[in-house]
Amino acid sequence: MTATDHGLQWDLESSGDALVGACECEAPSMTFRDELVRIALAWQDAYGIAPSITSAVSEYDAAVTLLGMSEKEYGASMKLATAVGRGFDFQFKGERFQIKANRPSGKPGSAVTLVPKVRNYDWDQLIWILYNRDYEIQEAWKWPREAYQREMHRLPRISPSHMRRGLPLY
């Protein structure tokens, strides 16, 4: 299978459950996630601010890395989703997952002190992921909807220390 995007020619093959692409890039068998992160970090190095990829990367990481969904399952579930879907980011094993994540830029003063609040409770489990500058997972926490609602709903501001009261995933 071949994909062409933004002038890059990708030769895609199924490697077990992983979809890998060979491209004219530094590492010949990077996943799309790895290549997206590589490009975003190069962009940040060149222009000072990384493109907004944290949401896409965190949804992938939650599904594939933390929950064990195969890339094929993830790809199939995301092809049915829309970018502005309400409530949850993906479904897995009968549960709806909402994903939130933070990533500091690495610049002075960029430490994560504020976690985004959810806007609705149309999900079963929330996963919060904290990355380092290079989009490597540093920690991840899971919250069942009822527990999150009970603990966080009335808080005017949610910090990483609040999220660390959940169930550790990573």
Chain segment 117-126, per-residue pLDDT in tens: 998 999 999 9
Do 5 and 60 share a structural domain?
A: no
Do 57 and 41 share a structural domain?
A: no
Do 37 and 104 share a structural domain?
A: no
Contact 36, 51 (CB under 8 A): no
pLDDT for res 87? 87
Q: Please, which pLDDT band fits residue 77 given cuts at 50, 70 and 90?
A: confident
CA dist., res. 37 & res. 136, Å (int): 10
Do 85 and 1 share a structural domain?
A: no
Average of per-residue pLDDT across 16-25: 46
Do 126 and 63 share a structural domain?
A: yes
Q: How far is CA 51 from CA 87, 88, 137, 141, in A?
A: 24, 23, 18, 25
**Of 32-36, 61-65, 108-112, 129-133, minimum mean pLDDT range:** 108-112
Residue 47: CA count within 13 A, CB half-sphere = 8
Mean confidence (pLDDT) of the chain: 86
CA dist., res. 105 & res. 1, Å (int): 35
pLDDT for res 4? 39
Q: Please, which pLDDT band fits residue 28 given cuts at 50, 70 and 90?
A: very low
Which of 61, 44, 60 minimizes the C-alpha distance to 52?
Answer: 44
pLDDT for res 12? 46
pLDDT for res 79? 87
Contact 162, 151 (CB under 8 A): yes
Do 67 and 36 share a structural domain?
A: no
pLDDT in tens, 126-157: 999 999 999 999 999 999 999 999 999 999 99
Domain count, the chain: 2
Whether the predicted pLDDT of 55 surpasses 50: yes
pLDDT for res 129? 99
Look up the pTM and report it. 0.81
For residue 36, give its domain range. 1-50
What is the amino acid identity at position 166?
G
pLDDT for res 30? 73
Which of 108, 104, 101 minimizes the C-alpha distance to 139?
Answer: 101
pLDDT for res 29? 56
Do 42 and 59 share a structural domain?
A: no
